[in-house]
Amino acid sequence: MPAWKAVLADLKLPVRIMPRDVSTCWNSTYDMLSFAFEYRKGLDAMTDQRRLGLGEYELTSHEWTLVKQLHDVLKDTTLYFSRSMPNLPMVIPAMDHIDSVFTSSILKKDRLDPAIHTGLGLAKQTLNQYYSLTDASEAYHIAMGAY
């Protein structure tokens, strides 16, 4: 931690700790990527210091491109959910919005790395599985007044 604070002081960046990526909280990935992109110089400086033994964690320029692309794909969806408190009747509209963002991103084959493109395809498959489960959810039917 002292080395991180020193690097940030040299770069004149405020001291912040990188948010953790929590698999059950999808917007945490966006928060982590936003932080990484904003603090790229600090992260590069930390992994460049041989005395800290963090060189194996240094991101290549290609990996930084992936960070930026994934951040951009997740940004729209994260902001969509940040504007109001999601509730059960908003599940389908929210899933439709996410599907729309993923679909439009998938169509940008020439602008996205194949890894991001493949990940979006897998995410759409997962989203479709959840979408199909809403038909069997009594709670969802009650919330929608269709029970």
pLDDT digits (tens, 9 = 90+) for 59-105: 889 999 999 988 888 887 777 766 666 666 677 777 788 888 888 88
Q: What is the pLDDT of residue 15?
A: 94
Would you call 59 exposed, middle or buried from its count of C-beta atoms within 10 A (0-12, 13-18, 19+)? Answer: middle
- Nearest Cα neighbor of 30 from 21, 18, 38 is 21
Distance CA 33, CA 39 (A): 10
Query: Between the ranges 40-44, 45-49, 91-95, 100-104, where is the mean pLDDT highest?
Result: 40-44
Inform me whether the pLDDT recorded for 144 exceeds 70: no
The CA angle 55-114-79, to the nearest 5 degrees, is 85
